[in-house]
Homo-oligomer: A and B are copies of this chain.
């Protein structure tokens, strides 16, 4: 992450006057999590595991089409580290590694759900907006 602290001087009117007495440290932490989670591969991997339950490394790689081995390993390791994914190594030959969402990971995928539904519901509207924008630009 590593983002500068927000300048306290800015004055903007809040639309909905939330009782915003949250600890700025907490807020930073939440934002840090958001930044980790707001990642293309993270969302796609969590979604894949949510849909299929348990997957092996190669299965995951195929389902999340287009991801490099490096990014898959990297992302999945960070998810394990954050307690969102359970990684089980079966010490056999050839190797066999299973990935599953933890309960917390599952709850996150539920939270993502709204975004997926939004995307399914609005993709045509987005397309239309793009056309309109392109036409307007000319």
Contact = CB atoms under 8 A, between A and B. Distances in A.
Interface of A: 2-7, 9-10, 12-16, 18, 26, 29-31, 33-35, 37-40, 42-44, 50-53, 55, 59, 62-63, 65-67, 80-84, 104, 107-108, 110-120, 122-123, 125-130, 132-133
Contacts of A130: 81-83
The main secondary structure of chain A at its interface with chain B is: helix
Copies in the complex: 2
A37 B121 CA distance: 14
A108 B29 CA distance: 23
Max chain B CB contacts within 10 Å: which of A4, A26, A118, A128? A118
A124 B29 CA distance: 9
